[in-house]
A and B are shown apart, each in its own frame.
Chain A
Amino acid sequence: MAEREVIVDKMRITYEGLFDVKEFYKFIDVWFREKGYDKKDVKNIEKVTPEGKYIELELEPWKKITDYAKNVIKLRIFMTDIKEVEVEQDNKKVKLNQGKVHMVFDAFLETDYENRWEMKPTFFFIKTIFDRFFYKPYTSGYQANVLNDVNQLAANVKAFLNLYRYSGISWSAPGTTFPKQ
């Protein structure tokens, strides 16, 4: 079984207000396509409730970097009380949606996804030694790659939802050395 290293653990963005649900999903979809990720829609749930629509999406796109490492971003989107509203923008009536969005981001670096190095204990031992001592620069590069992708996606989502005032690096890895006292 492949080894999954957690790079980003449940990073959340919550928004309540006006936005276009269709454009929002399309924007995320196009972003993953442009970044070279393969698509995986794990769940797509839509219910009509008295308070409005309830939409739940679970996306888990992946990108193979090498035949050993793979980026996986897990994105869960929960939209509640989604109602259609008409808003005037630049003297034109535009149909938008009003509701709450809650997004949870997880990112993983999956290594040995072809299960080549887990067949025998000796192979597993060699793999662990190489991963810890010899391939560390490559692995840390791959980790930085995933982190960068998630930060970029979060920043773009915030910009889309007009939360640009609060944008910046959403998640950063802790430093490896402690600051001098």
Chain B
Amino acid sequence: MAPINDVPTNTLIVKYNGIFDFDEMYHVLQNWIKDQGFWFEERTYKAKVPSAAGAEHDIIWDGWRKVTPYVKYWIYVKWKLWDLKELEVVKDGKKKKLYKSRVRLVIHGKVELDWTKRFGGSKFAQALAEFYNKFIVKKNLENVWWDECYYRIFKFHALAKEMFDMQAKDNAYYDVW
């Protein structure tokens, strides 16, 4: 049996329908991923031809960070925007460009083990890797690596809710990792 090399985190979904500052949100979330020490890749940006209802955008982000020579954290963000329309709003006497849209944000991550492929390709090496992951580093994996990866992704999720100014934007776990 092949050893478990990828340990996925829970998938978090945010859906919002209303007015928000898409430009600011796009940059703030992107900068957050970079500030957390992740390598950032915008894998896909699909902007479809706008219709009368509005524009449709598909964005996929990947981020990865080397934690140890054995462990890597990954974060995946998928944006889907429908009926995206520009609005001009006067706020504090100044004109501001905002957007009205239906948004779905899907955020998940994973902990990648043995990203340097130290436990080669042979069956014996794979069996050793399985033993190592299941018994030697199991506690570290559950209590440190997975936990840290998951709660960091949760902070990203909380930031996204804050950018939408959602009612349920609070995060009681803000100080975890």
A residues with CB within 8 A of B: 21-22, 25-26, 29-30, 32-33, 39-48, 53, 55, 57, 79, 82, 97
Contact = CB atoms under 8 A, between A and B. Distances in A.
B10 interface: yes
Interface stretch (B12-20, B24-32, B33-41, B58-66): B12-20
Give me the 10 closest cross-chain CB pairs, A-B, nearest first. Answer: A29-B172, A47-B17, A45-B15, A21-B167, A26-B170, A25-B168, A48-B18, A33-B172, A30-B172, A44-B14
B168 A21 contact: yes
B72 interface: no
Contacts of A33: 172-173
Contacts of B14: 44-45
B13 A46 contact: no
Task: Determine which residue in A39, A40, A44, A47 has the highest number of CB atoms from chain B within 10 A of its CB, and name it.
Answer: A44
B164 interface: yes
A47 B15 CA distance: 8
A26 B10 CA distance: 21
Nearest to A23: B170
B157 interface: yes
B9 to A, nearest CB: 10
A82 B167 CA distance: 10
17 contacts: A21-B168, A22-B167, A22-B170, A25-B170, A29-B171, A29-B172, A33-B172, A40-B10, A41-B12, A41-B157, A44-B12, A47-B15, A47-B18, A53-B167, A55-B168, A79-B167, A82-B167
Nearest to A32: B172
Interface of B: 10-19, 154, 157, 161, 164, 166-173
Nearest to A44: B14
Contacts of B11: 42
Contacts of A48: 17-19
Contacts of A25: 167-168, 170
A42 B9 CA distance: 12
A99 B164 CA distance: 21
Nearest to B15: A45
Given A21-B168, A33-B172, A55-B168, A43 B15 contact: yes
Contacts of A79: 167
Contacts of B172: 26, 29-30, 32-33, 39
Contacts of A97: 167
Contact of A46 (B18, B154, B173): B18
Nearest to A34: B172
Contacts of A39: 154, 172-173
